[in-house]
Structure 1
Amino acid sequence: MPINIPRELPARETLKKEKIFVMDEDRARTQDIRPLNILILNLMPEKEKTELQLLRLLGNTPLQVNINFLRTATYQSKNVSNYHLDTFYTTFDMVKSRKFDGLIITGAPIEHLEFEEVSYWRELQEVMDWSVENVTSNLYICWGAQAALYHHYGIKKKSLPEKYFGVFNHDISLPTEKLVQGFNDHFLAPHSRHTTVSAEAIEKHPELTLLSKTDENSPFIILSNDRKNIMITGHLEYDATTLRDEYERDVKKGLDIAVPVNYFPNDDPEKTPPNSWRSHTHLLFSNWLNYYVYQETPYHWN
């Protein structure tokens, strides 16, 4: 089934070429189907790239999904046009009276700041607090996951001596959990971050389950025991070339950046990197939409 997105959204044509089933609002209104309403708070600087990455995944399930993009009112993005934001995004004040089936909060390149130093931190806290009563299931990615762990559960992030950068192996501690249904016992996923959270702190927290971590004991998928919040510290949504783009960007800036781990063939940046995490990414998003959103959300919100 399709995702329902605005007709003029730039990602639409790319999705159609990739055979992702998209639908505009006029056709969606003629179908007697209860679509899922998903809100995406996109904090990434290159918003159009992130839109496309997430829409690919949300459009690959049997469910009809309405997408609403949310931006911060307290910070103006410098990497996307005002026209794009005004046309395809809304602010929290415009949606806080509504109910949503799912909420995705992305990462953001602001790890060097303490949470309270982030210009839109109070706004983000308001969104997270609002989601407790107004959203069925929340999915937090990278910095968004660290923000949720801090805000909801009091778990602080900590700086790493060097960037955790590359494609890493992960295991699963609870293979019967529906979120990872169909996963291999070991799987690959990309990370790109300067901070982490303590696996021990998560494992000791009475409200959390550490569902997956890397071979280096770095937390990856964290699930709240009420199944309300899912925190993913890496970037399963990344394209095959996203880490390469980040690496080349940092090299051009003259930064002391290592080649991403286990990413380029033979660690050669001149070679094309493969996508070794795509199947598990689609599984996770499909499982989330089905088991944590569709199967749990009310047909009629009060």
Structure 2
Amino acid sequence: MTILIDKDQVIAGPTLVPAAHDLARDAGAELTIGLVNNMPDAALKATERQFMKLLLAAAGSRRIRFHCFSLPSVKRSPEAKWHVESEYSNLSDLERGKFDGLIVTGAEPIAPELDQEPYWRDLTNLIDWAKINTRSTIWSCLAAHAAVLHLDNIERRRLPAKCHGIFDCGVVTDDSLTRSAPAPLKVSHSRLNEIAESDLVQAGYQVLTRSEEAGVDVFVRQYASRFVFFQGHPEYDALSLQREYLRDIGRYLARERENYPRLPVSYFDAPTEEKLIRFERKAAHQRHPALSNELPALNLRADIGAGDAAAVLFRNWLRYLGADADASMSVR
């Protein structure tokens, strides 16, 4: 399914675009971008909306033809499978089309190693295709880890504790992608593993941003396509980390996980953190799913700036994608 994103449009979902918009190719410069959305079922629809809103905020007056895909080998519930089959384009259409840019998300791991995942062959085929068939591709979170493993055999490393929260990241390399970026960039991270900066540099990757607490954030490598890697989640909205944290509390209370989740870093305000610490103590003694009904009201810090840094980075990414299109328009 094709969606046309422009500055006058409110994006609610991938089906809510008037058919007439599909005829507006000659109204100005356009970019064709695909999202290969492999996120878990619970986050599937939220992820497509978040990326559409992020692109809408970054596009300015430029129009974007936006296509959603998902790897067919990602395991889905019947409901999520129906959504993908009825609302998304077939992955085979990706190879037949001409895409300026591609965004690829991670999937929920179910195997001990990435190269043992059921979707591994589909994903590596996509990586190889994107190298020569896009102007630039973004690999987000687990997809970034999978891509560098396939491309350069760089293994990710297990963290002693989950990297989860809003982290201040600084620009360490001058690059068009980070031009006019706020200082610091506040970025959402949510992962159990990391890629070591030393491994990336040794293999020829260029690190653009990093956090003292979370490590490498954005890094790049040039092939025929410019590959951009995010260890974090640029698409996350203000409540994404809260939803994950509450999900993990629920799994702990239901004894689906052994350890109580840590508080997201620099996310909740101080009074909320105090309430949640007291709730954790209670949960350790009264571990039962019904206890989730006693969770306190949650308030976020006022300075989390969710999405602000990502909007700048994606605006610069779209400018990179559109450089050739703008040049061709200027000589008409």
- What TM-score range do you get, normalising by the shorter chain? 0.7 to 0.9
Residues 68 and 89 in structure 1, CA contact (< 8 A), matched pair in contact too: yes
**Quick check: which has more Rg, 1 or 2?**
2
User: For the residues of structure 2 that align with 1:217 and 1:271, how far apart are their CA atoms?
Assistant: 24
Residues 165 and 191 in structure 1, CA contact (< 8 A), matched pair in contact too: yes
Instruction: Give the paired residue count.
Output: 284
Relative to structure 1, the CA distance from residue 89 to residue 217 in structure 2 (aligned partners, 3 Å threshold; closer, same or farther) is closer
User: For the residues of structure 1 that align with 2:322 and 2:112, how far apart are their CA atoms?
Assistant: 36
Q: State the TM-score, normalizing by the size of structure 1.
A: 0.86
| Residue 179 (structure 2) aligned to one of 170, 178, 181 | 181
Match of 1:94 in 2: 93
User: For the residues of structure 1 that align with 2:144 and 2:268, how far apart are their CA atoms?
Assistant: 27
Q: Unaligned regions of 5+ residues in structure 2, if any?
A: 277-296
Give how far 1:13 is off: 3.6
Aligned-residue Cα RMSD (Å) equals: 2.4
Aligned AA (2:126): V
User: For the residues of structure 2 that align with 1:13 and 1:288, how far apart are their CA atoms?
Assistant: 23
Give the percent of matched residue pairs that are identical in Structure 1 and Structure 2.
Answer: 25
Match of 1:4 in 2: 4
Match of 1:288 in 2: 317
Matches within 5 A, 1:88-127: 88-110=87-109, 113-127=112-126
Aligned AA (1:250): D
Match of 1:47 in 2: 44
Match of 2:269 in 1: 265
Matches within 5 A, 1:226-265: 226=223, 228-254=226-252, 255=257, 256=259, 257-265=261-269
Aligned AA (1:63): R
Residues 111 and 143 in structure 1, CA contact (< 8 A), matched pair in contact too: no
Aligned AA (2:212): D
Relative to structure 1, the CA distance from residue 154 to residue 299 in structure 2 (aligned partners, 3 Å threshold; closer, same or farther) is farther
| Residue 27 (structure 1) aligned to one of 5, 13, 21 | 21
Aligned AA (1:247): Y
SS of the counterpart of 1:223?
strand
Matches within 5 A, 1:71-220: 71-78=70-77, 80-110=79-109, 113-174=112-173, 176-206=174-204, 208-216=205-213, 218-220=215-217
Q: Unaligned regions of 5+ residues in structure 1, if any?
A: 6-10, 16-21
More helix by share: 2
User: For the residues of structure 2 that align with 1:277 and 1:29, how far apart are their CA atoms?
Assistant: 34
User: For the residues of structure 1 that align with 2:213 and 2:102, how far apart are their CA atoms?
Assistant: 30
Q: State the TM-score, normalizing by the size of structure 2.
A: 0.78
Give how far 1:47 is off: 1.0
Residues 269 and 300 in structure 2, CA contact (< 8 A), matched pair in contact too: yes
User: For the residues of structure 2 that align with 1:50 and 1:299, how far apart are their CA atoms?
Assistant: 33
CA deviation string 1:138-159 (max 9, x = no partner): 0011001111111123211111
SS of the counterpart of 1:272?
coil
User: For the residues of structure 2 that align with 1:193 and 1:31, how far apart are their CA atoms?
Assistant: 40
